[in-house]
Amino acid sequence: MTGTTTHFTKERAPCGRTVDGDRSQEGDAEGLSFDDTLFACGCRLIRHEFHDGSVRIRTVRHDGKVLLDEHSGDHEA
């Protein structure tokens, strides 16, 4: 796995504040992909794609409240 971390400034966090933060992206050649964003206020955005094509998206506000927690595999019939 290879990863990169990018610092950003003045992005809108899930709580509505405009803050700085860091985004780290990792992946491999077979389709695995992790994309995590940590805002200075403590909010987090997490997007993980797995080898089977399923995707997990999670948004956690800085006070710990989970705003969004989705996994594509949860919705299979």
- Per CB under 5 A, residues contacting Zn ion are 13, 15, 41, 43, 62
Closest CA to 35 of 74, 5, 64, 62: 5
Phi/psi at 37 (nearest 5 deg)?
A: -120, 130
Between 24 and 51, whose beta carbon lies closer to Zn ion? 24
Q: By C-beta, is 13 or 45 nearer to Zn ion?
A: 13
CB-wise, 12 or 51, nearer to Zn ion? 12
Report residue 44 CA to chain centroid gap. Answer: 6
CB of 28 to Zn ion, least distance (A): 30
